[in-house]
Amino acid sequence: MPLDGTELEAFGNTPLAKLGAVERLLINEKQWCKGRLRDKDGRFCLAGAMQAVEARQLLDPIILRAIREVRGKRYWRIESFNDHPSTTHADVLRVLRRARENVLAGMIEGNPCPWHERWRQTLRCLCSERSSAISVPLRSTTDLPGQDVISHTLGRVAG
């Protein structure tokens, strides 16, 4: 289909190309399994399919984000999602579709910063605003009330 990202799959190592390869391995329920990366019948779980196309490291964060968005729950491992008793083949296909949408959206939006980078930038901005607010000139110590008491006490400790 035009403009759905499939024309970029010819470039091999892009996330879209790897997602397409995973989708082809899991195209129907007869090719999907639970509990093993690959079973004796040649079926794959989601993580096994990613590993088979050598895209585990590339796709892990993309797939985990899609799982969180589709399921509304954070999984720390793709295997935990795939092997969960309530996960169906349709859920896996929904996750792959969402992952594709997210990759395409990132390409259109110029691949926005990850959340931790945005958080760091926000904190840096807040800290710089705070430091500029703090850097206003302080009153001299002679303007402070009770200065004579402090100097008297310090003189007694020093003497």
pTM: 0.61
How confident is the prediction for the chain on average, in pLDDT? 78
Give the pLDDT score at 151. Answer: 46
Give the pLDDT score at 123. Answer: 76
The mean-pLDDT minimum among 36-40, 107-111, 115-119 falls in 107-111
3-state SS of the chain? CCCCCHHHHHHCCCHHHHHHHHHHHCCCHHHECCCCCECCCCCECHHHHHHHCCCHHHHHHHHHHHHHHHHCCCCCCHHHHHHCCCCCHHHHHHHHHHHHHHHHHHHHCCCCCCHHHHHHHHHHHHHHHHHHHHCCCCCCHHHCCCHHHHHHHHHHHHC
pLDDT tens digits, 25-78: 999 999 999 999 999 999 999 999 999 999 999 999 999 999 999 999 999 999
* Residue 142 confidence (pLDDT) above 70: no
Crossing angle (nearest 10°) for helices 89-108 and 15-25: 170
Return phi, psi of residue 75, to 5°: -110, 140
* Residue 6 confidence (pLDDT) above 90: no
- Give the distance, in angstroms, between the CA of residue 37 and the centroid of all CA atoms in the same chain: 23
- Higher-pLDDT residue of 121 and 136 is 121
Give the pLDDT score at 26. Answer: 95
Q: Where are the domains of the chain?
A: 6-108
